[in-house]
């Protein structure tokens, strides 16, 4: 009889613990259901997207209309469930958006900070290229009036090299009072430049084409010397030509350069 009662008390303790556990699980399930019900309330639906520039900079090329058209129907979920990473990828596909930062703002807003592409030139006629050497597709209609961009072109994966060389050559040619209209890199990595006055320059093979890193800066001294030699000789050359214009200049020689004069209206 004593053993039976002892066993009965032992079974009762287990039953009591099981009942407590079931009660806790029931409360947890109830709270979970309540949380899910609250999360799904229309009050938390994302209905506002705040668009602004990084560091509070004014946006020049990105418009809220273009961003809204891009994200229409693409952002899934509400304040709690929306995937910020996927939302960022969608927003970065909008015209002129280089990078985007996305965060939630209580209770139903997404704050989007945008870094714009800064256009430097057209690239291979169909795209633009920014100051980081990244090609991108964009509507040129949003460019401000009077904006004139040069035309850069080259093989695939040469964008960064093109931007780097463009900046270097522009710096060399600035004292001549001319700008670059076209900057072309051939498949053999030879440069040809068309200036704003119509003169065509043959700069020769880029030194970076002969090293493993096409975006490196080593072995560029000879390349720079060609330009330096031409720029230094320019004032005396202009004086000597006495008004005649240069059609083209070949800077590929080791100790000088060759020029071709534009046809004269008074001579054959």
Any idea what the CATH number is for the domain that residue 161 is in?
A: 3.40.50.11690
* Same domain as 129, residue 250: yes
One domain, residues 58 and 112:
yes
Give yes or no for residue 218 having a pLDDT over 50: no
Same domain, 84 and 191: no
CA dist list (Å): 213 to 71, 161, 209, 266: 38, 10, 8, 50
Residue 246 lies in a domain: yes
- pTM for this predicted structure: 0.78
What's the total number of domains in the chain? Answer: 3
Question: Quick one: 93 and 205 in the same domain?
Answer: no
Same domain, 135 and 179: yes
Single residue among 84, 100, 116 that ends a domain in this structure:
116
Q: Does position 74 have pLDDT exceeding 50, yes or no?
A: yes
Where do we find the tokens 């929306």? 82
Question: What integer pLDDT is reported at residue 11 of this predicted model?
Answer: 64
List, for residues 79-112, the tens digit of each pLDDT value. Answer: 888 999 999 999 999 999 999 999 999 888 999 9
267 located within any domain? no
Position 268 scores a pLDDT of 46
Q: Taking 90 as the threshold, does the pLDDT of residue 51 lie above it?
A: yes
Question: Given this model, what pLDDT does residue 267 score?
Answer: 52
In a domain, 102, yes or no: yes
Query: Do residues 149 and 163 share a domain?
Result: yes
Strand order in the sheet with 109-116: 48-53, 109-116, 97-105
The boundaries of the domain holding residue 26 are: 2-39
CA dist., res. 62 & res. 184, Å (int): 29
Rounded CA gap, 248 and 101, in Å?
48
Task: Please determine, for residue 23, whether its predicted confidence score (pLDDT) is greater than 90.
Answer: no
Mean pLDDT to the nearest integer, 111-137: 94
pLDDT of res. 216: 47
Is the pLDDT reported for residue 183 higher than 90? yes
> Helix or strand or coil: residue 111?
strand
**Does residue 34 fall inside a structural domain?**
yes
Q: What is the pLDDT of residue 149?
A: 94
Q: How sure is the predictor about 164, in pLDDT bands with cuts at 50, 70 and 90? A: very high
* Helix ranges restricted to H, 154-254: 159-173, 221-241
pLDDT top residue among 112 and 146: 112
Q: pLDDT confidence of 147, banded at 50, 70, 90? A: confident
Domain boundary among 89, 116, 143: 116
pLDDT for the residue numbered 146 = 83
Question: Which of 113-127, 134-148, 160-174 has the least mean pLDDT?
Answer: 134-148
With respect to residue 268, please indicate whether it lies within any of the assigned structural domains.
no
pLDDT at 100: 96
């Amino acid at each position: 009889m004593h053993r039976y009662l002892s066993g009965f008390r032992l079974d009762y303790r287990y039953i009591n613990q099981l009942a407590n556990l079931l009660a806790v699980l029931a409360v947890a399930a109830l709270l979970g259901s309540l949380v899910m019900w609250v999360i799904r309330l229309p009050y938390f639906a994302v209905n506002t997207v705040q668009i602004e520039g990084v560091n509070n900079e004014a946006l020049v090329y990105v418009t809220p209309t273009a961003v809204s058209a891009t994200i229409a129907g693409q952002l899934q979920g509400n304040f709690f469930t929306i995937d910020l990473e996927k939302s960022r990828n969608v927003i970065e596909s909008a015209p002129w958006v280089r990078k985007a930062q996305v965060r939630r703002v209580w209770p139903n807003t997404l704050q989007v900070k945008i870094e714009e592409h800064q256009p430097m030139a057209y690239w291979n006629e169909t795209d633009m290229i920014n100051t980081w050497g990244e090609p991108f597709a964009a509507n040129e209609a949003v460019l401000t009036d009077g904006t004139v961009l040069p035309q850069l072109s080259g093989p695939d994966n040469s964008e960064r090299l093109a931007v780097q060389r463009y900046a270097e050559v522009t710096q060399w040619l600035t004292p001549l009072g001319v700008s670059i209209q076209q900057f072309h890199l051939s498949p053999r990595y030879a440069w040809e430049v068309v200036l704003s006055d119509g003169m065509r320059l043959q700069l020769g093979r880029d030194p970076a084409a002969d090293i493993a890193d096409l975006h490196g800066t080593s072995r560029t001294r000879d390349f720079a010397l060609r330009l330096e030699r031409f720029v230094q000789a320019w004032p005396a050359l202009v004086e000597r030509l006495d008004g005649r214009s240069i059609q083209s200049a070949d800077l590929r020689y080791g100790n000088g350069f060759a020029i071709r004069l534009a046809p004269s209206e008074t001579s054959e």
